[in-house]
């Protein structure tokens, strides 16, 4: 890593994400095997039992998170099909193992090659996630947005972003926040 703090940080499938990925791949392969035995010449059945599972495997593999990069003025998620900027280089960063505790998935993927999408967490409100290992979470806050990532060497990742520091207050997920009190 150069003195400017740029670098690539590996991501790996860890814990429950690894098991969900293995289980889902086995299920998709089982659907395809059943298709060999049952599909025959039925076009719709062939489509459902071959094309859909293969498409899911190809799409899941192509868009899985393989790592994170700090380059120029941004933090990027690395994927086989390219990279996506998720935060500015001046993002606040904090290693937090409990960031996903009590999270609700609003839209996204719950474990097939990673936990990705939009989530609502107790501590950080609505955030975007590109997580492959729930035991290596880092919270990034930049431009009023919150992102969750899971670099393999999270201490070095946080240090490269300027060290662990408390995050500025964000949107509170408390019930009723932002509502006006009813007149009495």
pLDDT digits (tens, 9 = 90+) for 105-146: 999 888 899 999 999 998 899 999 999 998 899 999 888 899
Q: What is the pLDDT of residues 13-42, one digit of tens each?
A: 888 989 999 999 999 999 888 877 776 777
Read off the pLDDT of each residue in 154-177 and give the average, rounded to a whole number.
Answer: 62
Written as six digits, the tokens of 104 are 């609700």
Residue 92 and residue 142 in contact, taking contact as beta carbons nearer than 8 Å: yes
Dihedrals φ, ψ of 5, to 5°?
85, 10
Position 47 scores a pLDDT of 78
Label residue 177 by pLDDT band (50, 70, 90). Answer: very low
Chain position carrying tokens 């380059």: 71
Measured CA to CA in angstroms, residue 4 lies from 18, 81, 134, 140, 163 at distances of 33, 27, 28, 19, 14
Give the pTM: 0.77
Give the per-residue pLDDT at 69. Answer: 92
Contact 45, 38 (CB under 8 A): yes
Q: What is the domain partition of the chain in residue ranges?
A: 15-62, 66-160
pLDDT classification of 173: cutoffs 50, 70, 90: very low
> Quick check: 8 and 78 in contact, CB under 8 A?
yes
Strand duo 125-131 + 145-149: pairing? parallel
pLDDT in tens, 61-106: 999 999 999 988 889 999 999 899 998 888 888 888 888 888 899 9
Please tell me the chain's helix, strand, coil percentages from 3-state DSSP, rounded to the nearest 5. 30, 30, 40
pLDDT (average), residues 155-173: 65
């Amino acid at each position: 890593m150069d003195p400017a703090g740029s670098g690539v940080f590996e991501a790996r499938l860890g814990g429950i994400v690894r098991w969900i990925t293995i289980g889902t791949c086995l299920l998709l392969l089982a659907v395809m095997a059943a298709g060999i035995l049952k599909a025959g010449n039925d076009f719709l059945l062939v489509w459902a039992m071959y094309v859909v599972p293969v498409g899911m495997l190809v799409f899941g593999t192509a868009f899985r998170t393989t790592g994170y990069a700090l380059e120029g003025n941004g933090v990027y998620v690395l994927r086989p099909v390219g990279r996506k900027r998720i935060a500015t280089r001046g993002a606040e960063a904090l290693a937090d193992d409990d960031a996903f505790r009590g999270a609700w998935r609003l839209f996204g993927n719950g474990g097939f090659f990673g936990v990705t999408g939009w989530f609502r967490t107790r501590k950080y409100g609505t955030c975007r996630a590109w997580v492959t290992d729930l035991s290596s979470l880092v919270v990034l806050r930049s431009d009023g947005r919150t992102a969750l990532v899971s670099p393999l060497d999270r201490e070095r990742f946080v240090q490269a972003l300027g060290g662990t520091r408390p995050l500025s207050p964000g949107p509170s997920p408390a019930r009723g926040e932002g509502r006006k009190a009813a007149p009495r």
